[in-house]
Structure 1
Amino acid sequence: MTPSHENYYVPEQSGWPILTTMGLALVGMGAPVLLAGGTPDFFALGLMILAFIFFGWFRRVVIESQKGLYSAQMDVSFRLGMIWFIFSEVMFFAAFFGALFYVRTFAVPWLGGAGSNAMTGQLLWPDFIAAWPLLDTPATGFDRPSEIVDPFHLPLLNTILLVSSSITLTFAHHCLKQAKRWQASAWLAFTVALGIAFLWVQGIEYVEAYTHSGLTLRSGIYGSTFFILTGFHGIHVTLGTIILLVMLIRLLRGHFNSEHHFGFEAAAWYWHFVDVVWLGLFFFVYVF
């Protein structure tokens, strides 16, 4: 008798979760070693394991979905899982934005002798000038950048690219819901191209920052927060672009229809989240 999956779904036992744990552990152990000047062995091995997991695990889910094994209950589970995942990413970036706001609102004024911390500033750094982004402060223990990144040059171009990509992705989604597969594929391909263009422009920006502006990871707290926030966002854009490319391949292979396309929707949610984070970066890291 063929089992029914209308009301519940019990997945088979899988080794993917424990393998994911191993990969993340190797990345977590290897990253500090790599940053400290050690060998990249553990970090590289962890990344290879994670890449293998992404391909194998998601492939398994796609196959099961195409076989019709998932019920409405699983659809709800997938949606809730994606919502919690994006929420965790919101908290991830909130921590770094919080660090930026804390430094600019409290730490820098304290070192400058604001309020009741005048004595603290004089004792710790008497020559400190509390003017963000610390271009006028005498360099002591860090490489002071000669200038900051012009927000209305490459960052503005990247803002236009990323906002445009959200618009084209929305067009692709509407075309898919109307069963216009080729139009949806064209708009999605345009979105992937815009994502690649964003990464290309960000690479140019980093080269200019290092070679012409002296803005590096050693440029004090400004350099650290700048590259941590923009760098992690760049990693998310890279992952999002890969995900959208996979969705494009699936769309061309006929994996989605107008009613059932949560994989596409999940990718769109993630991409719109990345877009919103960039708007925050543009205003609070580059402009203000």
Structure 2
Amino acid sequence: MSQTTAARGFDHYFVPEPSTYPLFGSVALLLFGAGAALWLNDVPSGPWIFLAGVAVLIYMLFGWFGQVVRESESGRYGWRVGKSFRWSMGWFIFSEVMFFAAFFGALFYARVLSVPWLASGDNEALLWQGFSSAWPTAGPYTPSGAEAFTPMGAWGIPAINTLILLTSGATLTWAHHGLRAERRGQLKLGLLLTIALGLVFLGLQIYEYGHAYAELNLRLDSGIYGTTFYLLTGFHGLHVTVGVIMLTVMLGRALAGHFSPQRHFGFEAAAWYWHFVDVVWLILFVVVYLL
């Protein structure tokens, strides 16, 4: 292919060949949802249908993403495709921002509006004698009164995890600088350190949950505090898991010789997502643990 033809192809928008991967994705979601519903209703085939959906979904992800990687590495994507990728990733992260905004909004509503209202005036009779608007609330009502629990403190594992995520953001930025400067060793080491820090974060969070259940009596059903605590921290932990998977894929691509200083949006997209996860944790640490 001549340089003129390559430049012309680079300027035009790439139109991919017809693909069956969307069909596989639809089948995967159908099996995934149906299997989960049957599983929750104790139907024996439910878990198997659910796992079949997961397997089909993994096949689709590997196949579809692999095709996109091969097309990118072959130089078939131009600046128009790169621009669309950036817009798509930006909107995806915005949807994730709204996702967490809804959860933070639920915490704000419960803590600032709902709980004080229930503790005011004659509303106290709606719950139990002695209920107050102090946060965290006393937990669920039992015949012997409110079941006591200890809220999770900020200093300890949560503070360590905050330091870990902040450090991981720095190591990922260091890896990005290495990529832009064509220092492949720095790129690989930075990615490896970021992945390791993410795994340490997840391990400490699992330990924190075990400590909360066994020693603090803080469970998912420990009033609105327990519900919002596990909802926010749990979904953030899920996002950290997704981020670790994304960065692991980027490390594999880096080891395979992919990316260049000029063309590395796959790496940038994973970095955007990881920095988003970092920012959400900082807000979560202040709102859930400190305040």
Common fold: TM-score over 0.5: yes
The aligned amino acid for 1:183 is Q
Q: Does 1:49 align with 2:53?
A: no
Q: 1:140: how far off?
A: 3.5
The aligned amino acid for 1:277 is V
Distance, in Å, in 1 between the alignment partners of 2:37 and 2:221 is 17
Q: Does 1:19 align with 2:21?
A: no
- Matched with 1:214 is 217
- Pair 195,18 (structure 1): closer, same or farther in 2 beyond 3 Å: same
- Matched with 1:279 is 282
- Pair 125,139 (structure 1): closer, same or farther in 2 beyond 3 Å: closer
Pairing 1:1-288 to 2, within 5 Å after superposition: 5-6=9-10, 7-31=12-36, 34=39, 39-113=46-120, 118-135=121-138, 139-140=141-142, 144-288=147-291
Q: 1:145: how far off?
A: 4.8
Where 2:142 maps in the other structure, the secondary structure is coil
Q: 1:237: how far off?
A: 0.4
Tell me if the contact between 1:144 and 1:220 (Cα under 8 Å) persists in the aligned partners. Answer: no
Q: 1:32: how far off?
A: 5.5
Q: 1:112: how far off?
A: 0.5
Tell me if the contact between 1:215 and 1:223 (Cα under 8 Å) persists in the aligned partners. Answer: yes
Structure 1 residue runs of 4 or more that deviate by more than 6 Å after TM superposition:
none
* Residues 181-231 of structure 1: per-residue CA shift (max 9 Å, x gap): 111111111111101110110010011111111111121211111111111
Distance, in Å, in 1 between the alignment partners of 2:30 and 2:209 is 29
Q: 1:120: how far off?
A: 3.0
Q: 1:71: how far off?
A: 1.3
Which runs of no fewer than 5 residues in structure 2 stay unpaired?
A: none
Q: 1:134: how far off?
A: 1.4
- Pair 25,121 (structure 1): closer, same or farther in 2 beyond 3 Å: farther
TM-score normalized with structure 2 length: 0.89
The aligned amino acid for 1:139 is Y
Which runs of no fewer than 5 residues in structure 1 stay unpaired?
A: none
The aligned amino acid for 2:161 is N
Q: 1:68: how far off?
A: 1.2
Distance, in Å, in 2 between the alignment partners of 1:138 and 1:223 is 10
Distance, in Å, in 2 between the alignment partners of 1:93 and 1:178 is 35
Tell me if the contact between 2:174 and 2:187 (Cα under 8 Å) persists in the aligned partners. Answer: yes
- Pair 166,145 (structure 1): closer, same or farther in 2 beyond 3 Å: farther
Tell me if the contact between 1:5 and 1:71 (Cα under 8 Å) persists in the aligned partners. Answer: yes
Distance, in Å, in 2 between the alignment partners of 1:140 and 1:15 is 54
Deviation larger for 256-265 or 31-40: 31-40
Distance, in Å, in 1 between the alignment partners of 2:160 and 2:33 is 34
Distance, in Å, in 1 between the alignment partners of 2:28 and 2:146 is 35
Distance, in Å, in 2 between the alignment partners of 1:36 and 1:97 is 31
Where 2:75 maps in the other structure, the secondary structure is coil
Paired residues in the alignment total: 283
Tell me if the contact between 1:192 and 1:244 (Cα under 8 Å) persists in the aligned partners. Answer: yes
Q: 1:29: how far off?
A: 4.5
User: Considering only aligned residues, what root-mean-square deviation do their CA atoms show, in Å?
Assistant: 2.3
- Pair 44,131 (structure 1): closer, same or farther in 2 beyond 3 Å: farther
- Pair 212,102 (structure 1): closer, same or farther in 2 beyond 3 Å: same
Q: 1:127: how far off?
A: 3.6
Where 1:5 maps in the other structure, the secondary structure is helix
* Residues 15-64 of structure 1: per-residue CA shift (max 9 Å, x gap): 22232233334444544655666653444333323222221211111111
Tell me if the contact between 2:118 and 2:126 (Cα under 8 Å) persists in the aligned partners. Answer: no
